[in-house]
Amino acid sequence: MFPMTLWVKRLLLANVAAFLVTGAVPGLYRLLILYPPAILSRPWTLVSYMFLHAGIGHLVFNMIGLFFFGPRLEDRLGARGFLWLYFLSGLGGAVFSFIFARQYPVVGASGAVYGILLGFALIWPREKIYIWGILPVEAWLLAALLVGGSLYAGITGSQSGTAHFAHLGGLAFGFAYLKWRERRQGAAVRTFQKAQKPTTSGGSERVVKARWKGISVDGLHEINREEVVRLLSKVEADGASALTESERDFLDRMAAR
């Protein structure tokens, strides 16, 4: 099992503490519960509802999901990325509840935990998860079953009392955040890689060509000397953009000698 991480531990403790405190102070529970029609007058409930649970079974189910799937995901995403996923998924649960089932009060970390499970399934889709410790199910299939089950139950109204649309909201917002993050990181990598390559326009190319032409071929080994001459001829004829990455690297190494 993956070692416990800092924010998973803190979230587990916060949920358990909130369950104990609100159980001892019923008025506090009512103050923190999410009731969609009252969101504007009680905006804090968009977050506070994630730490409330309808009973010990509800709490245990959500905390088991956080305990098993959270640490590995926090390690992969980092603390900030993990918290963004957790709370945005929880917020998605509140938004979907407001849109599709606004007449019902909502409590529970299910939306946030479903977002965590989805993140796990997207990163490690073939990882086997043992239901009740016996039945092996790949992570992607478990996530698909949860989506399908919540969608069916939400539309048909089966299992009243369960916030199925909050589950769907957690999955939707979690998916959107992870895809945005993936795209943003991909763009950052491409920008970095582009910055490492000499440009092939304007003065930049002239600077690069001047540096390569300054290579002293007299002191090079015969094989390297022939390669430098060949590549410089290629640059002169077709420009620096005609070189491959490895050819550029070779000329840069020779220029740095």
Element (H, E) at 129: strand 128-131
Task: List Cα–Cα distances, 193 to 45, 142, 180, 190, in angstroms.
Answer: 44, 37, 20, 5
Task: Say if residue 160's pLDDT is above 90.
Answer: no
Residue 152 banded pLDDT, cuts 50, 70, 90: low
- pLDDT at residue 184 in the model: 86
Q: List CB contacts of 225: < 8 A, sequence separation 6 or more.
A: 217
Annotated catalytic residue within 48, 97, 110, 150 = 110
Active site residue 53: no
Residue 167: active-site member: yes
- The CA-CA-CA angle for residues 15, 17, 19, to 5°, reads 70
Which of 7-16, 52-61, 156-165 has the highest average model confidence (pLDDT)? 7-16
pLDDT at 159 over 60: no
Non-local (6+) Cβ contacts of 153 within 8 A are 159, 162, 164
22-47 pLDDT per residue, tens: 999 989 999 999 999 999 999 999 99
Q: Are 66 and 109 in contact (CB under 8 A)?
A: yes
d(CA 170, CA 95): 9
Write the single-letter amino acid at 253.
R
Residue in 220, 222, 219, 198 with CA at minimum distance from that of residue 210: 198
Using one digit for the tens of pLDDT, what is the confidence trace for 211-251? 888 888 887 777 788 888 888 888 888 888 788 888 888 88
Query: To the nearest whole number, what is the mean pLDDT of the chain?
Result: 84
The pLDDT of residue 175: 95
Collapsing DSSP states into helix, strand and coil, what is residue 99? Answer: helix
209 pLDDT higher than 90 = no
In the chain the domains, ranked by start, together with CATH numbers, are: 6-193 (1.20.1540.10), 202-255 (no CATH)
Q: Which one of the listed residues 89, 97, 164, 167 is annotated catalytic?
A: 167
